[in-house]
Structures are given as C-alpha cells and as structure tokens.
Chain A
C-alpha cells in the first residue's frame, strides 16, 4: 500500500516561495501507474486541487494557481515537490499530497498524506 508523507517549513513569509516535499513509500514513483498530486485545504474550508505530475515529468495545474505553481519529481529519492511563489496570507492552508491511479479517466485520489499546515505570516 502506498504511503505519503509531506515535509517542509510550517511558516513562510509573505512574497516568498512555499516549498514542500512528499516522500512516497510502499511503491516506486518511476514504476508508473500513478499520478502524484498536491491539494490544499484552507482552515475550516473545503478542498482545492493544486496540480499533479507523472513520473515522466508531465504536469497539469489548476488554472487559478498555474502562474505561481511548480510541481517536480525526483525519482531517485521517490519524492515529488511543490513550489508556490509570491505567497500571501490567502495561501495559508493544510497542504496534502496524494496519489491518483492511472485509469482510463484520471482524477480521483486514492491515497493521501496526513497533511501539513503552512502559515503565511511575517
């Protein structure tokens, strides 16, 4: 069973870049069969998809965040990462990494990390 674990700073200053890493265990990213995604949840609110990546490096982003988001993959470390630039207080949220099975229609999240709270504040 795939397990995911987010890591990264819990506090980021406004205008800086938020950087998080998700470490995958129980399976190899380079084996394919999954896409790897980031999702966030503002405090007390609903869920927002940020983007996802395949092991080959192909990426798909939420158009509302696309100008500020970069998702990358490091198959040697079995990790994928999120960078969100020019953050403001509105980017304060719990950030989750998750996997999407490579099916005929891609898009539901079967395994999730526990989530990490990132606060944007000076």
Chain B
C-alpha cells in the first residue's frame, strides 16, 4: 500500500496570506495525485487532479505542483471560505488501491 503523509497537520494562516500544504508518497505515484477540500459536515470537494489540473469551477488561487513522491498545494491568497481540511489522494496503483493522506487543517490565525 502506498502511504500518503501530509504536513503540517495544522496550518494557521491569516486571510490574504499564502498557504503551502505538502503531501509525500511512500513511493512514486507519478502525477496521479488529487487534492480535496472538506468543510465541517460536508463531503470532500475535488480541487486538483493529475497533480496540477484544477477541477471545474475551482478558483485560480488554488494550484498544485509536484510529481513522483513530493507534492504541494498552494493557496495564493486565503479567503474566508478556504479555511477547511485538505486531503491528498494517490491513484497510481494497478490493481487499484486508492489511498488518502491524513489531512491538513487550515485554520484562521
């Protein structure tokens, strides 16, 4: 099983500031990585797939980068609606064994 490790567990950021979230895979997943945002009481929402492609309707302030084992989600200027938990997920195995990271909570500083 590919283990996904996210850091930090909690990130305290002021509105308008930049947030950088990290995700590391225990082995290479190529660019087969997605990012999701989850707010309390809601389902996760797809932000990024293919490591760097924004999903439909996702604002340009969200960007993804990386390949292999190291990935980054950057939120260029945090808005109030961006405070949430963010998960990365790899989909590189065949047969499939899709795995998620433990999440990073972005909270208001």
Contacts and interface: CB of A to CB of B under 8 A. Distances in A.
From DSSP, what is the main secondary structure of chain B's interface residues?
loop
B99 A109 contact: no
Contacts, number: 57
B102 to A, nearest CB: 5
B34 A108 contact: yes
Contacts of A63: 1, 97
A109 B34 contact: yes
Contacts of A105: 32, 91-92
Given A52-B96, A105-B92, A115-B43, A47 B32 contact: no
B102 A107 contact: no
Contacts of A60: 95-96
Contacts of A48: 100
Contacts of B46: 108-110
Interface of B: 1, 32, 34, 36, 42-46, 49, 55, 87, 89-92, 95-103
Interface of A: 46-49, 52, 60, 62-63, 96, 98, 105-110, 112-115
